[in-house]
Structure 1
Amino acid sequence: MPKIPVEISARHIHLSQKDLDALFGKGFKLKKIKDLSQPGEFASSQTVELIGPKSSYKKVRVIGPVRKNTQVEITATDCRVLGINAPVRLSGNVKGSAQATIKGPKARIKLKQGVIIAQRHLHLSAEEAKKLKVRNNQKVSVRIKGERSITFHEVVVRAGRQYKKACHLDTDEGNSAGMKTCEYGELVK
């Protein structure tokens, strides 16, 4: 069975230019501290506070580059702590999603939508998808072996030229498998 790198994605935020300007000041540029596995994406040194009706999380990492729409990705556990009812969605699908308040060094903004629990997904280049005989938006399963072996179903394939092979789980999912860092799983169709 094909080996797949599996990465754990902690809570984070992608900002639109408009919201970046509001939170950090007009014309502010994100400062890269580390490249991420997907080409062009990076962790910035900037953080914000994510505020819900019940609680808040300080130091939520801002991921670059800026996007068309602001999007917050949290876990089901985070939802309970914050008092937010976020839907499970693929990245980019924020229409009608949950609300939250974001606080930066210069301002506080109210997101009317944009908070999601990221659907577990598998990034593949078009060539990798062809080789593995899967297609964009197909649902597959990924098995992770170990002391807490588990098979994740409903893993959505995101295939395209811009992607590099990696399965993304959130921290709740990674913890359920006993993962510590990037590990390898097996693709199960």
Structure 2
Amino acid sequence: GSNPFYTNGTRTIQLPSGISLRHLHLCPEHVEILFGKGHQLGVYHELYQKGYYAAQEQVMVVGTKRCLEKVRVLGPTRPFSQVELAQSEAVALGMKLSVASTGNEPQTQPVTLVGPAGVISLPGGAGGGAFLARRHIHISDVTAQEWGVTAGDTVTLKIDGLRPVVFDDVLVRVKAGWRTEVHLDTDEGNACLIRTGQMGTVVLP
């Protein structure tokens, strides 16, 4: 197993950080409405997390003030569609978004998506919508056992450098086969001048 080291009585582990750019996930039905009947997502490039990819497809996200063009779809498809933005983007769009862990929680907001073949209006809430993604860590079930954490726990993340930042309330997500990675949005990444792949330190409970 891994060998967490101890600093001043606390357990800390180094892990890579990933900056999550604005993106959306689509259900198969919405892929066909936005891009045409029978359309399948094409792979633009693989993501660090195995089995996940940035798709070739992009859509326009319509806000109340302005629109965001060429927002990348991530694959594979999901049971429901969702849009993940940073707070600065939400403000620019004129949208008041809340933090959520996934796109069908009650606090997600309605949003309209425009594709080359059609338009979708996500209703928000259980029907899927737009939100600010809660900062989180992906780990495998094996790593979770080694760390002594379970899905839904929270940990603290320390980022060193020119603008050191401590992020509290980092959600732990667990799935067999997942690679260890922190996900921050672009606003959080910019706050500490971190880039994808840079190491952070997790302080375990």
TM-score (norm. length: structure 2): 0.89
- 1:50 aligns with 61
What does the per-residue CA deviation read over 1:22-75, in whole Å, with 9 as the maximum and x for residues that have no partner? 000011011101111222110011100000101111000000111100010001
Q: Which is strand-richer, 1 or 2?
A: 1
| Conservation of the 8 A alpha-carbon contact between 1:94 and 1:115 | no
| Conservation of the 8 A alpha-carbon contact between 1:22 and 1:106 | yes
* d(CA) in 2 for partners of 1:48, 1:29: 15
Q: Secondary structure at the match of 2:77?
A: strand
Moved more, 176-185 or 164-173: 176-185
Deviation at 1:154, TM superposition (A): 0.5
Q: Secondary structure at the match of 1:69?
A: coil
- 2:185 aligns with 170
User: Which structure has the larger Rg over C-alpha atoms?
Assistant: 2
Q: Which runs of 5+ in 1 are unaligned?
A: none
Deviation at 1:163, TM superposition (A): 2.0
Q: Secondary structure at the match of 1:2?
A: strand
Q: Which amino acid aligns with 2:137?
A: L
1:8-157 paired onto structure 2 within 5 Å: 8-113=19-124, 114-157=129-172
- Deviating above 3 A after TM superposition, structure 1's stretches of 4 or more consecutive aligned residues are 92-96
TM-score (norm. length: structure 1): 0.96
Q: Which runs of 5+ in 2 are unaligned?
A: 1-11
Percent of aligned pairs with the same amino acid: 35
| Conservation of the 8 A alpha-carbon contact between 1:71 and 1:94 | no
* d(CA) in 2 for partners of 1:4, 1:181: 11
How many residues matched?
Answer: 189
Aligned residues: CA RMSD: 1.2
Q: Secondary structure at the match of 2:120?
A: strand
